[in-house]
A = this chain, B = another copy of it.
Amino acid sequence: DEELDAARYAEVAEDLEPDQVALLLESLPRDERQECWEQVPEEQRVDVLVEMRAEARAPLVKELDSRTLDQLISGLDAETLIELGESLPDDVVDIALARMDERQRAHYERSAQYDEDAIGRYVDHDLLILPQNSRVRDAERLLRREVPEYTTHLWLVDRTGRYTGAVPTLSLFGKPDHLPLVDLIDDEIEPLSALRSLKEATEAFEHAEISALPVVDENGLLLGRMSMRLALELLHEQYESQMMASAGLDEEEDLFAPVMRSSRRRATWLGINLLTAFLASWAIGLFEGTLQQVVALAVLMPVVASMGGIAGSQTLTLMIRGLALGQITAANMMPLLRKELSVGGLNGVLWAVVIGIVASWWFSSFAIGVVIALAIVVNIAVAALSGVLIPILLDKLKIDPALSGSVILTTVTDVVGFVVFLGLGSLFLL
């Protein structure tokens, strides 16, 4: 591992892409980050800010003096302002808009109408557009100028700006000058609707054999394009945010967020989990008398809870993937439940025997072995059942099972595990 601090920054910065500078800045504690930021060349600053997480970006923007901020916001294009928007004070956004050229401002206003999860918000406007009655010679003239990255097609529109078709640039080679472009349209390319979600955009790229797709609004108006490169970035963010959410964290969370703010945010998740822990305690509390007489039960409680929790989360994880891929339907729910119950049954019996033997030997009591073995079988079966049903239920309620499934599942396996184990203990050991 190399040390990356403000002093070394100057040496390495020249070779770094804006997203790498952003990662480096985010890895520094906030005071060092500020120092290092001041060494980023002015012409790179906007690109670096765009790549940073909102929470790490905001304080850097706040510290800018008005002259620098001024330079930074003059000449912003629509995409960049959309991306930076949430970190800029409203009045700065207004100034930036006032300074934009009219076309970019129109782009901005159209994009800003779409919400955070809609494709329309993230279109870029670097695309080559021609009227639908253009000919091969018009296309060739356009292509002789500088072309935007990922350009593989020209886009045709009618007089009102409605999308009419895509012409592969390579199809132009060897074609006569006067041939109408409509004769070269590739019918297999379907434009994306601006209202569709980002997830649908990444799916579209898995089928479309093209590196940038046209995006149209509800009326068929060509708004811009979305590149596969952006889809790759969005997929990355989507997974990162899912991983963070499963621990009650936000994707924008800064590694060096201020202690107070970070504590406050995490407190909520701890609070929710505390409630579930108290629920488990309450279940145990029902059997205080039994515990007092057979203290071995208290010692073995974590084994029962843990085995249920682990078996359940294996089923849950399989279900979460299946739901994400659209593979769980009303038709296969019952066979799936049967299969998971069988797997749970087999593993339940196997580990019940192992645990039963260990517990009997440990506490020199055959009865304790039998009690924990029964509790393990029941709890692993309940875990399989919950692992299948909880995510299906959450999905029906439009709650992401990847987010809250695990908390609910372990609450169920904890409570059921404790009640069954201590309940059987009360019956057979007193």
* A397 close to chain B: CB less than 8 A: no
* A132 close to chain B: CB less than 8 A: no
Among A89-97, A111-119, A329-337, the stretch that binds chain B is A329-337
Please encode chain A, from 235 to 247, with 1 for each CB lying within 8 Å of some chain B CB and 0 for all others. Answer: 1100110011011
Least CB distance, A28 to chain B, in whole angstroms:
6
Least CB distance, A272 to chain B, in whole angstroms:
9
B233 touches A206 (CB 8 A): yes
Find chain B residues with CB under 8 A from A280 CB: 302-303, 306
A288–B244 Cα distance when bound, in Å, is: 39
Given the known A-B contacts A207-B17, A243-B320, A299-B281, are A228 and B232 also in contact in the complex, defined by CB atoms under 8 Å?
yes
A331–B314 Cα distance when bound, in Å, is: 37
* A59 close to chain B: CB less than 8 A: no
B263 touches A346 (CB 8 A): yes
* A2 close to chain B: CB less than 8 A: yes
Partner of A292, one of B3, B169, B205, B292: B292
A306–B301 Cα distance when bound, in Å, is: 14
Find chain B residues with CB under 8 A from A276 CB: 306
A202 touches B267 (CB 8 A): no
A270 touches B310 (CB 8 A): yes
* A12 close to chain B: CB less than 8 A: no
B306 touches A305 (CB 8 A): no
For this complex, into which size category does the number of interface residues on chain A fall?
A: 35 or more
* A273 close to chain B: CB less than 8 A: yes
B332 touches A27 (CB 8 A): yes
Can you sample 24 A-B contacts with CB below 8 Å?
Answer: A17-B207, A19-B207, A144-B174, A150-B152, A150-B210, A151-B170, A152-B152, A169-B170, A202-B232, A205-B232, A243-B317, A244-B321, A255-B332, A256-B336, A260-B346, A263-B342, A263-B347, A267-B351, A273-B310, A281-B302, A285-B299, A291-B295, A292-B292, A295-B298
User: Measuring CB to CB, which residues of chain A are less than 8 angstroms from any residue of chain B?
Assistant: 1-5, 17, 19, 23, 26-29, 140, 143-144, 147, 149-152, 169-170, 172-174, 202, 205-207, 209-211, 228-229, 231-233, 235-236, 239-240, 243-244, 246-249, 253, 255-256, 259-260, 262-263, 266-267, 269-271, 273-274, 276-278, 280-281, 284-285, 288, 291-292, 295-296, 298-303, 305-307, 310-311, 313-314, 316-318, 320-322, 325-332, 335-336, 339, 342-343, 346-347, 350-351, 354-355, 358, 414
